Amino acid sequence: MSGVHVARVAARIRADIISGGLEPGARLTEKLLAERYEVSRVPIREALRILSAEGLVTIRPYAGASVADRPDDDAADLFAIRIELEAATARRAGERCAAQTGERSAEISELLVELERILAEGDQTLKAGDLIKLAPLNSQFHQRIAELSGSQSLVSLLDQISGRIEWLYAVNVTKRGGEAWAEHHLILDAVRQGQAQRAEELMRHHVAGSRDSYFKYARPSS
């Protein structure tokens, strides 16, 4: 993305926030972060600016950075937005595949292979009952579908919104079972066969199910 260390540092702080390791309101002093990640304050500051733009961190002039408030009350609205967003990525991914049924560009082919791999790995993980490891695979699936849409805007918006939604699960993680995983196969099939409208409908249903599971099982206790 940018500086060599900046991306790494931002990713680690982001993971610490989303995982719940850093509580909302916790101060993020540059000196402490610089020592923890063994870089100077410059990459730290740049990483904090990125996280600020992502809404995970609040920065006030001369007062420094702190972990932003977790958007607990925004769950329903965030899911509503995410439904439209992912519906768009699925439809456009389907359209791109439909436009190139003859011989597909290298980028599309690679993404399709990657998606197959993710699904296969998820199937195995699911069979082993290792639900914890399913979460990152789920994220990767949706991210790759977005990349398949060919729209940089949709990719980065999905990053932001799904990041915030994952943050909501920080307290009680993954009570949501793997029942939704099978839907991924249907979505990818529709996309690959260029059935854009069907892919969109399946994705809407899928994300709506994710939303319902959240309100049923994973509502934060706070």
Partner DNA sequence: TCTTACAGGTTTGTATACATTCGTGAAACA
Partner DNA sequence: TGTTTCACGAATGTATACAAACCTGTAAGA
User: Which residues make up the interface to a copy of itself (CB under 8 A)?
Assistant: 1-4, 6, 42, 45-50, 52-55, 59-61, 68-69, 71, 73-74, 77-78, 80-81, 83-85, 87-88, 92, 151-154, 156-157, 160-161, 164
Which residue, chain included where needed, has tokens 């560009």?
105
Name the 3-class secondary structure at 160. helix
Site mask for DNA (CB under 7 A), range 71-110, x = bound: ----------------------------------------
The SS3 of residue 142 is helix
Residue 5, binding choice from DNA, a copy of itself, none, Cβ under 5 to 8 Å by partner class: DNA
39 binds, among a copy of itself, DNA, none (CB under 5 to 8 A by kind): DNA
Burial class (CB in 10 A: 0-12, 13-18, 19+), 102: exposed
- Residue span binding DNA (CB under 7 A) among the ranges 15-23, 34-42, 75-83, 174-182: 34-42
11 touches DNA (CB under 7 A): no
In the complex, minimum distance from the CB of residue 62 to DNA, in angstroms, rounded to a whole number = 4
Rounded to a whole number of angstroms, the minimum distance from the CB of residue 39 to DNA is 4
- Nearest by Cα to 17 from 212, 166, 178: 166
Q: According to DSSP H, which parts of the chain are helical? A: 4-18, 30-37, 41-54, 75-99, 106-127, 134-148, 152-168, 181-192, 196-213
